[in-house]
Amino acid sequence: MLSVLSYGRLVARAIIGGLSQAESRDFSLVTASCGFGKDVRREEERMRGRGEEERRKMTSYGDDACFTARHSSADVLGVADGVGGWRDYGVDPSQFSGTLMKTCERLVKEGRFIPSHPVGLLTSSYYELLQNKVPLLGGSTACIVVLDRQSRRLHTANLGDSGFLVVRGGEVVHRSDEQTHYFNAPFQLSIAPPGSEGAVLSDSPDAAGSTSFDVLLGDIIVTASDGLFDNMPDYMILQELTKLKGSSYESIQQTARSLAEQAHILAYDPNYMSPFALLACDHGLDVRGGKPDDITVLLSIVAEFTD
Amino acid sequence: MLTLLSMFYYICLRRRSRSGTRGEALHSRRAVESGQRAALPVSPEVEQYAKEVLDFSSHYGSENSMSYTMWNLAGVPNVYPSSGDFTQTAVFRAYGTWWEQCASAPPRFCRTPPGFHSQDYIELAYEEPVYPTAVEVLETYYPGAIVQIQACSLNPFSQNTPSDVRWEVLWSSEPTKVLTPQARQFSPAIKQISFPTNLLRLEVNSSLQQYYTELDAVILRGVRDRPILTLYKRPVIDVGDLSDSDEELADMAAACRYGSDEGPPHATGNGHFDRLPYELIQLILSHLTLRDLCRLAQSCKLLHQHCCDPLQYTQLSLQPYWARLSDASLGHLQSRCALLQRLNLSWTGNRGTLTPSGFTSFIKVCGSSLVCLELSCCHFLSEACLEVVSQSCPGLQELNLSSCDRLHPLAFTHVSKLTRLRRLVLYRTKIEQTAILSILTFCIELRHLNLGSCVRIDDYDVVASMLSARCRSLRSVDLWRCRNLTERGLAELVSGCRTLEELDLGWCPTLQSSSGCFQHLARKLPRLRKLFLTANRSVCDADLEALADNCPSLQHLDILGTRMVSPPALKKLLQSCPKLLLLDVSFCSQVDNRNVQELSALFPKVAIKKSFTQ
């Protein structure tokens, strides 16, 4: 009798102990990225001679750039869409977005950021771009997603028309707000040549919209440039995500790739009524088909933190 | 017989250890080491990157940035083995001899010991104290500036402060010229020390460098257990210790034992020294370093009188002795410094060796004739110290508080009482708007003012306006990284301070060439000798034309990072300014290496700098 009670107590303690441990375990993001640049020929040049491993670690697709980084308290990822219009003025748009994302990555790795304040990360990164001896020019949108591991909250900052979706149980529970000045002119961080500041759209990092919310295990976060969202409506994205099995890196990588590929195919379909085409029609423009654009997809799953 | 032999051996050994050169001794030691190493088990070597940068004297980057700042030296390398001018490296503020050539540079102090070459320093803390076996510095651009590596016995992360803080020189050398700007891993042969360390100090001299030297990481290799080899007693080569009372006694005993030829220490006759005129002995002594002067004072009464003569101490540079200088040393020197005019205490007071009370008591006694006071990187300074300086040194003309970033902003209000100030350096201090305006109101004789990286000053236009109103004899002003100076402030400055010769406006983002401010500047300052417009992206051909037409005395010009300057405009400038010595056109996108080569061939006296990233 007594032994049963003591045994029971032990078992109860073990169960409660196990539960409370699960309560206090940190979350983390398992992230995979994939993308396609718009200029197929240029991208083939770049991909030539790169092995599979290298392709996985790529951080830029066309004029888009992305990064993922870990710090002791947070997992951070970001995407930046370089504004293509700068090419007409002899400026390579991928330089600005690439440097912006690399600087964000470095700031995260060195801990020079506050997880609950991703707009601060964007501001610091933009400031660091101005501290470079090299005279950078160009502009890009930016979307930063930070998971605070211990508090299990997701903090986001979005400037422009890139963005993110949070999918839980097959439904979109959070999404970013698109910021545009007018049709096809998103909010953007930019550095203009001196004298042309008035002619160029240049938004302050403070103009970024930011949100914070709790996440649960198994939440899926899709962070992407407008190349994805302009070519694939929500239901198609959700359909692709149902194919995601488990939270292993390989399956996430596979799903990210299929999302990007599908968007890429749809972009060049001349008859398909893409979200971009639908929006253009709303503005009175007679447009059909997809929107050829650089596509970058970062797919993340909220999982338990393992070192 | 045995005792004779043993005495003989003893004398021979002592003589060899005294006369052996350092290099020789190191080599013999290494031979012994390598021999021994084969026999004994080696404890595992620990390799560490720097955990934290604790202190440094200057840097190129901005105070809250990670581009070109000293904090990049901590952690793993970001750039190495690539070579080039990258943001992720640690860069000092200056290079070469360009800053020494300016009128704003202070004249050198005499009696600098020949082994002291350091211009800048950086202190790095590591996680774990080890007995160092190697220090590797990853230099990524224009290497070769490091002149000294030292280790400290103090653990900066431990809570208890030990009473004895020792700094030991691991390696030291004269500045050498390295011919290529390419990256290299610099690993000099370091001395073995008898204590574990996790605090390293690198001292740097960039005077032979062609461009800014850049460092990426510093690796400390060491062993946890004390190597048995350190049982070999070696005379420890000190950085330069000043005689305090204990050492004085020891030295006096030594001097007596080995005898001096200057005769017995009683009143009758000092031999030939009695025949020499007083001034001649004084002249001879003026060539000795401070350490030798203090030691010579113990040799005999006559030389003691000479060495303690206040005329030998009109200039006093204690910077080479920063590691050992204490309150006691200052107190000891007090009696000799009644006529002190120029005092250099830069870098001293490291880790509590000097306290505000020691400093203030010295200044109260010796400050009345003080004309120049160098207090760069003196972290022991408090508001009370500056108050005492302002009261005790009424004739002070030069004050250097560069990198005294722990000094409270309120302390600077006392500087306004020094109304005879001509040179004031406040680089990287936390001085605020009201204090600087107060200083400019009262210190109307200012000739040279350095407000570089003073981030707490709110409105630089108001400062410029005050300068133009009050400091009419201003010759040089350094406004490096002043964040909100506009064309209005600049216009007022150049209108009021007509004798301006040197102007550093590097990294001032709010100055736009389209306002015509640079052309206005050129027309108003015909005596201009130095103009830095570093990273002002709006500098254009019209500005260079204005400089060419109006500033024939131009010697130093930096227009890094502008896209709007073309090679023909540069050529015209070089033709019109025959005295030009330095022209920095790094990252000017219209000027490529071929242009630079052509211009260098046409104008061989001008050092045309073009930095690169790959």
pLDDT digits (tens, 9 = 90+) for A41-68: 777 777 776 666 666 667 888 999 999 9
Q: For strand A163-168 and strand A171-175, is the pairing parallel, antiparallel, or unpaired?
A: antiparallel
Q: State how far the Cα of A137 lies from the Cα of A151, in Å rounded to an integer.
A: 38
Q: What's the pLDDT score for residue A280?
A: 87
Where do we find the tokens 């100090």?
Answer: B201
Q: If you measure CA to CA, which chain A residue comes closest to B560?
A: A133
Residues B369/B284, Cβ–Cβ less than 8 Å:
no
B448-450 vs B476-478, strand pairing mode: parallel
Longest dimension (CA), chain B: 94
Q: Which residues lie closer than 8 Å to B39 by C-beta, 6 or more apart?
A: none
**Residue A84 pLDDT greater than 50, yes or no:** yes
What mean pLDDT is predicted for residues B11-33?
A: 51
- Which residue's structure tokens are 């002791």? A72
Residue whose C-alpha is closest to residue B451's, from B420, B419, B412? B412
A65 bridge partner residues: A60, A80
For A82, which DSSP code?
B
Q: What percent of chain B has pLDDT over 70?
A: 87
If you measure CA to CA, which chain B residue comes closest to A132? B87
Task: Provide the whole-model pTM.
Answer: 0.86
Give the DSSP letter string of A103-137: HHHHHHHTT-S-TT-HHHHHHHHHHHHHT-SS---
Q: Which amino acid is at A65?
A: A
Q: What pLDDT is recorded for position A199?
A: 84
Q: In this complex, do A131 and B62 lie within 8 Å of one another by their Cβ atoms?
A: yes
Quick check: B418 and B399 in contact, CB under 8 A? yes
Q: Is B66 in Cβ contact with A107 (below 8 Å)?
A: yes
pLDDT at A16: 63
Tell me the average pLDDT of chain B. Answer: 88
C-alpha to C-alpha distance for B493 and B496, rounded to whole angstroms: 5
pLDDT digits (tens, 9 = 90+) for B480-532: 999 899 999 999 999 999 999 999 999 999 999 999 999 999 999 999 999 99
Is 90 exceeded by the pLDDT of residue A122? yes
Instruction: With beta carbons under 8 A apart, name residues in chain B contacting A132.
Output: 67, 87
Direct distance between the N- and C-terminal alpha carbons of chain A, in angstroms, rounded to an integer: 43
Chain B CB contacts of A110 below 8 Å:
66, 75
pLDDT at position B11 over 80? no
Task: Please tell me the predicted confidence (pLDDT) of residue B14.
Answer: 61
The helices-and-strands tally (H runs, E runs) of chain B is 16, 21
Q: What does the alpha-carbon distance between residue B421 and residue B445 come to, in Å, rounded to a whole number?
A: 6
Percent of chain A topping pLDDT 90? 68
Residue A297 pLDDT: 95
Q: CA nearest B71 in A: which residue? A: A110
8-state DSSP, A20: H
- CA distances B97 to B101, B262, B375, B478, Å, are 6, 44, 22, 17
* DSSP secondary structure of B444-498: TT--EEE-TT-TT---HHHHHHHHHHH-TT--EEE-TT-TT--HHHHHHHHHH-T
- Residues of B within 8 A of A127 (CB-CB) are 65
- Chain A environment of B535 (Cβ under 8 Å): 133
Q: What was the pLDDT predicted at B34?
A: 47
Whether the per-residue pLDDT at B173 is higher than 80: the answer is: yes
In this predicted structure, the answer to whether residue B24 has a pLDDT above a threshold of 50 is no
Query: Interior CA angle at A28 toward A115 and A253, to 5°?
Result: 120
Alpha-carbon distances, residue B421 vs B390, B446, B474 (angstroms): 11, 6, 11
Q: What is the DSSP letter of B22?
A: H
For residue A139, count CB atoms less than 10 angstroms from its CB and return exposed for 0-12, middle for 13-18, buried for 19 or more. Answer: buried
Contacts of B291 (CB under 8 A, 6+ apart): B113, B240, B241, B242, B243, B321
Q: Is a pLDDT exceeding 80 seen at residue B382?
A: yes
Contacts of A128 in chain B (CB under 8 A): 65-67, 87
Q: What is the pLDDT of residue B188?
A: 95
Instruction: Determine how many CB atoms are found less than 10 A away from the CB of residue A203.
Output: 18
CA distance A111 to B54: 17
pLDDT for the residue numbered A13: 67
Among residues B531, B486, B478, the alpha carbon closest in space to that of B512 is found at B486
pLDDT of residue B121: 97
The structure tokens listed for B372 are 């120049």
- Summarize pLDDT for B242-290 with one digit per residue, the tens: 434 334 434 433 433 333 344 444 555 677 777 888 889 889 998 998 8
Give whichever of B157-161, B305-309, B346-350, B577-581 has the largest mean pLDDT.
B577-581
Place of tokens 């032994």: A3
Q: Are B62 and A110 an interchain contact pair (Cβ–Cβ within 8 Å)?
A: no
Count of CA atoms in the C-beta half-sphere (13 A) of B429: 28
Answer yes or no: is pLDDT of B28 > 60.
no
**Which residues of chain A neighbour B61 with C-beta distances below 8 Å?**
131
Report whether the peptide linkage leading into residue B81 is cis, meaning its omega lies within 30 degrees of zero. Answer: yes
Q: And the tokens for B499? A: 């004798």
What gap in Å lies between CA B375 and CA B329, rounded to an integer?
17
Instruction: Say whether A110 and B68 touch across the interface (CB within 8 A).
Output: no
| Per-residue pLDDT at B259 | 35
Tell me the mean pLDDT in the region A172-193: 92
Average pLDDT, stretch B35-51? 72
Tokens coding A237: 């994205």
Backbone dihedral angles phi then psi of residue A198, each to the nearest 5 degrees: -70, -30
Distances (CA, A) of B203 to B67, B124, B292: 21, 11, 24
DSSP string, B507-573: T-TT--GGGTHHHHHHHH-TT--EEE-TT-TT-BHHHHHHHHHH-TT--EEE-TT-SB--HHHHHHH
C-alpha B388/C-alpha B373 separation (Å) is 13
Residue A101 is inside which H or E element, if any? helix A93-109
pLDDT band (50, 70, 90) for residue A18:
low
Number of neighbours of residue B269 by Cβ within 10 angstroms: 11
Per DSSP, the three-state class of A306 is coil
Q: How far is B574 from chain A (nearest CA, A)?
A: 24
Q: Which residue of B has its CA nearest to A99?
A: B87
pLDDT computed for residue A247 by the predictor: 82
B464-474: average pLDDT: 95
Count how many pairs of residues, chain A against chain B, have C-beta atoms within 8 Å: 52
- Check residue A8 and give its pLDDT: 66
Q: For the segment A217-232, what is each residue's pLDDT rounded down to a tens digit?
A: 999 999 999 999 999 9
Query: Which of B63, B66, B610 should be substituted to probe chain A, the one whose Cβ sees the most A Cβ atoms within 10 Å?
Result: B66
Residue B312: which pLDDT band, with cuts at 50, 70 and 90? confident
Quote the DSSP letter at residue A270.
Answer: S
Span between the terminal Cα atoms of chain B, in Å: 72
CB contact under 8 Å between A128 and B613, yes or no, is: no
- Is the per-residue pLDDT at A189 higher than 70? yes
Q: For residue B515, what pLDDT is reported?
A: 94
Task: For residue B18, count CB atoms less than 10 angstroms from its CB and return exposed for 0-12, middle for 13-18, buried for 19 or more.
Answer: exposed
pLDDT tens digits, one per residue of B292-311: 888 888 888 888 888 888 88
Q: Residues of A with CB below 8 A from B85's CB?
A: 133
Answer whether B278's CB lies under 8 Å from B307's CB.
no
CA B433 to chain centre: 27
What gap in Å lies between CA A158 and CA A145, rounded to an integer?
Answer: 9
The string of pLDDT tens digits covering residues B550-594 is 999 999 999 999 999 999 999 999 999 999 999 999 999 999 999
Residue to test with chain B: of A133, A137, A191, A197, most B Cβ within 10 A = A133
Residue A95: HSE in the Cβ half-sphere, 13 Å Cα cutoff:
13
Tokens 């830029």 label which residue? A60
Structure tokens at B382: 């408090």
The pLDDT assigned to B212 comes to 96
Cβ-nearest to B65 among A128, A134, A135: A128
SS (H, E, C) B278-313: HHHHHHHHCCCCHHHHHHHCCCCHHHHHHHCCHHHH
Cross-chain residue pair A128–B589, CB shorter than 8 Å: no
Selection from B398, B326, B317, B336 nearest residue B357 by Cα: B326
How are beta strands B398-400 and B423-425 bridged, if at all? parallel
**Alpha carbon of A125: minimum distance to chain B alpha carbons (Å):** 10
- Asked whether the predicted pLDDT for residue A136 surpasses 60, the reply is yes
